[in-house]
Chain A
């Protein structure tokens, strides 16, 4: 064990140096291998996302934690402890994250180990009580929320108005999907990938397919690459409009809520008309796409134009509503240096001056050939800048959609999918979801998935919620939560 932990410490130090030098820490995943637990640290840069692997001996029950050197690994190491039962030594809070609090030492084998449990039975009495100081009390939000929300519990510790500390329990809707992937064919795995985080169906399908395509070396045909971008950008529109609905609703702007609700419905209908599913399911397949849009390029252009005009006008009105802007300005700030340290993804990172948009820096499908214009920098890091970043992205998406529709009108007839019979290998795939970069680490053996780890942007970003409450009060809570625009399904899987 001592030898292994020396090697590991060296590896962790090297990782921390690489991150300090500008590469982005993209995740730390565990995989049960016959020889022991494999830890894969993923680093992203302009060349791609690469994994540095190391194997813990099968007898190891603990390992030196990465979190003290690299804070962004905080949740990743808790997940590894949940799934494989190894303890990260030196981790500041080695509590369960995705699994409910089990009675002391009770859960063996862990879900990630071979022959994992048939069922997890949460014991509500085993939940830790929160210690609070004199005059402090805890307000639990969730897991059953007021309204139509996904299940998650926020524990707001407050002396009355401001929020000195916030805690989260995310395990409630853990479905055990990583384990479900195992033993599936690549084609079946795609169906599950589409359901990891349903509101980012297309991005998850893309990241998964990119991994599978990398294993088998498939080249996606040009027309298929265009159709992929079409659906990915429509999904971005729907998600950003959803954030606008939630923010407007939190501010009590009934008409704005209704207007953006209508626009979102129009986007979902456009997606539904184009492919038969309102969430773009079944479009992306390994090697390409399943079919051309059922809506012709001319009709697409008209629809996109109408929608662009309507959305842009309402955005202008919303961003001119002073009472609304007042609620967002300086609310839930994320400092730029924290965004960079953590490698904050998507609009959350961009609003704090840190952008690592996979479409721009590690482009895929048709993005390298399409023009992405450079949006204005938004460095304030508050909920207002996060919304501004979303509107920049919405404008960008309309710009991309027009290009795609134009290109599709002239795209050659031909096969829409390349042969992709992956049987053995391992690769990482990525795609930029509306929430930020989605990462899939996929391993195939004899044509079946032996490990598939989806890492949604929601998982990476949600942990930042802990530190967004400097100076904010209880009534700011819904704005801060909505401004992150995350999906709990993608966090807990």
Chain B
């Protein structure tokens, strides 16, 4: 009976990234800087409850998407300066790349980062096993990661699977602001994973601690606990963003899909 029921509505699965998906662009990402407003950075800073907006060296305004909790205050107050980023391609390979405009890195350092990731992901390309650890999330990131396995996103089609054991895991997805109680279990999970391994910080809380930080209970992001390879902003990041980050980590983003990827 269930087998027939499963056929009832045809294929509901997205074809992204091979084909564009209208919903991928429709979901709101973190805030971004649309246009520079010279000299206004001081008042603009105060708009953000997590201090994501700051004064760039050139006097312009800089927004750290890794701290953006998507409350929308800056977008509401200054639509001329701030707007929503509307592509799932917000994930980045280094922390500084989450700022708009991005913090520079030396070309040598960038090459080193890319090569290190490439060496590790080369071995994993078409069959990847994920392990998830919650280090103090609010519960929404877990829902969005689980959504990847529903028939709409169905990441099994891309050779991506969940595994219960860290011994079988290639990629560690970490959510949450870095709760101190989870630091040791997270470290042990990371240590138990075989080489090569990749760590993805999923969500603004995991990247910077978000609104939970500073607190006696959290370390302000999981970067303080395990080395992070891919940073995914969003509170929480929608499934397409997490999928984008996975493909970015694996070097499997086709040209044209999520071109905004700051790799």
Contact = CB atoms under 8 A, between A and B. Distances in A.
A254 B2 CA distance: 9
B212 A256 contact: no
Nearest to A121: B180
Contacts of B77: none
B143 A242 contact: yes
B49 interface: yes
B1 to A, nearest CB: 7
A467 interface: no
Nearest to B188: A144
B8 to A, nearest CB: 9
A122 B134 contact: no
A143 B20 CA distance: 38
A191 B71 contact: yes
A317 B147 contact: no
B118 to A, nearest CB: 27
Given A143-B182, A174-B217, A198 B150 contact: no
Contacts of A175: 136, 177, 179, 212, 215, 217-218
Contacts of A487: 139
Contacts of A2: none
A196 interface: yes
A3 to B, nearest CB: 34
B150 A262 contact: yes
| Most chain A Cβ neighbours within 10 Å, of B72, B145, B149, B180 | B180
Interface stretch (A271-279, A340-348, A387-395): A271-279
B179 A261 contact: no
Interface string B206-219: 00001110011111
Nearest to A100: B181
A265 interface: yes
A191 B48 CA distance: 12
B162 A148 contact: yes
Nearest to B212: A175
A94 B62 CA distance: 49
A117 interface: yes
Contacts of B150: 258, 261-262, 264-265
B244 interface: no
B38 interface: no
A174 B178 CA distance: 10
Given A117-B216, A176-B217, A191-B49, A149 B134 contact: yes
A277 B70 contact: yes
Interface in A119-177: 119-122, 124, 143-144, 146-151, 171-177
Interface string A478-493: 0000000001111000
A277 B28 contact: yes
B151 A171 contact: no
Interface string B180-220: 11111110110000000000000000000011100111110
B138 interface: yes
A470 B242 CA distance: 41
Nearest to A188: B49
Interface string B155-181: 000000010111000000000110111
B255 to A, nearest CB: 28
A279 B189 CA distance: 29
Given A100-B181, A199-B143, A255-B2, A262 B12 contact: yes
Interface string A173-210: 11111011000000010011001111101000000000
B160 to A, nearest CB: 13
Contacts of B63: none
Nearest to A242: B143
B27 A179 contact: no
Contact of A198 (B70, B186, B236): B236
Contacts of B176: 151, 173
A281 interface: yes
A151 B151 contact: no
A253 interface: yes
A242 B137 CA distance: 17
Contact of A151 (B165, B182, B216): B182
Interface in A278-303: 278-279, 281-282
Contacts of A279: 140, 236
A255 B217 CA distance: 40
A489 B1 contact: no
Given A264-B147, A265-B152, A487-B139, 12 more contacts: A147-B132, A173-B136, A175-B217, A175-B218, A177-B215, A198-B137, A258-B150, A261-B149, A277-B28, A278-B238, A321-B1, A321-B2
Q: Which 8 A-B pairs have the closest CB atoms?
A: A176-B217, A261-B150, A146-B164, A198-B138, A198-B140, A255-B2, A176-B215, A255-B6
11 contacts: A148-B162, A151-B179, A172-B181, A173-B176, A175-B215, A258-B150, A265-B147, A281-B235, A282-B71, A321-B1, A489-B138
